[in-house]
A = this chain, B = another copy of it.
Amino acid sequence: MEIIQAEHIMHNDPAHIRLEHDPKYAHGSAFINGVYCSIDEAAIPITDTGFIHADAAYDVVSASKGFIFRLEDHLARFEKACEKFLLNNPYSNSQTAEILTNLVKLAGTREAYIWWCVTRGQTPANRGDLGAYKNCFYAFVVPYAYIANDEVRSRGIDLMVSQKYIRIPPKAVDPTAKNFHWMDMKLSLVEAMQNGCDWSVLCDAEGYLTEAPGSNIFVIKDGTLFTPDSGCLEGITRKTTLELAEEIGMPTRVERVHVDQLREADEAFLTSTAGGIMPINSVDGKLLGGVAGPGEQVTQLHNLYWERRWAGWLGTPVDYREPATV
């Protein structure tokens, strides 16, 4: 079985071609403090604590062939993230869904990367007084771009386990509430590239796997699928993968996974809204399962994932004929 060339297929699908839209939104659309605008002019006040203190929760969902995937799951996760960080989304979930759908229509793309956040807003005189903050909602939509393209997914990612960095622990910042605290992940990516790898993964202080930058990690050993139960985002693609695995009869275990289990795995992969299912070729230079390229089991999951996505599975269709209600 070969890895489906998902990027290639999507970009050559006539339905993918950008729909007629205002050239103002050529690079994407945004929603800032209640006003729709082009991504080119979308900006955040410099003193917003979402910027100066990473004091925010966010989420990302994607649309493929005009279907927004598991929108309700993303909205529910975002709602919980706001609760965990004591933030209030000024919009209800249905209003948020309407704003995001409008942004997809304005951007006029069927393959969309859809991002939104709530920030704490400006600092009041009393910084600990939650009631004194006015939380702010911001969102944008840009054309979808894979974080690992067809070529990388077909040969498999060369992964490095970061030596320099550990992931921020949950007792400092809860990773199940999607947040802006990315410096550990960003610098581990640089470390990986400097060591000839494509991507990095971070452990906790005890050497257990947490997550990769923007991605969850999965390990397959003797036909069983393992993924960490803590220290990481509860990814929607992770959830989807666990469901697909059960559907094809692959046993799953969500528990602490030591980095040595990754090194000794038969197959492994990353999952992300911005990348789908991304097979791993090697870990710290050692080929997984002793052979190059994606294994059979991850290839099966990868292809099943995209076939389902393209069929509109768990998708909210965007009606592009209806103009955006802006």
Contacts and interface: CB of A to CB of B under 8 A. Distances in A.
A51 interface: yes
A51 B47 contact: no
A180 B129 contact: no
Given A53-B182, A53-B186, A193 B46 contact: no
Count of identical protomers in the assembly: 2
Given A47-B39, A86-B190, A169 B171 contact: no
B193 A172 contact: no
A181 B54 contact: yes
A147 interface: yes
A110 interface: no
Interface in A236-251: none
A183 interface: yes
Contacts of A172: 165-169, 172, 183-184
Interface stretch (A120-128, A221-229, A279-287): A120-128
Contacts of A55: 182-183, 186
Interface residues of A, number: 60
A130 interface: yes
B85 A54 contact: no
A49 interface: yes
Interface string A168-194: 110111000001111111110110110
A30 interface: yes
A164 to B, nearest CB: 8
A127 B171 contact: no
A58 interface: yes
Nearest to A126: B193
B128 A190 contact: yes
A292 interface: no
Contacts of A125: 145
B165 A171 contact: yes
B147 A186 contact: no
A14 interface: no
Contacts of A42: 45-47
A113 B173 CA distance: 28
Given A50-B51, A125-B145, A165-B171, A186 B120 contact: yes
Given A43-B44, A53-B183, A127-B147, 12 more contacts: A42-B46, A50-B51, A51-B180, A55-B186, A85-B183, A127-B186, A127-B213, A128-B189, A128-B199, A171-B205, A172-B183, A179-B183
17 contacts: A47-B142, A49-B182, A51-B51, A51-B180, A52-B117, A55-B186, A120-B186, A126-B193, A128-B189, A128-B193, A128-B198, A128-B200, A164-B171, A168-B181, A169-B169, A172-B183, A205-B205
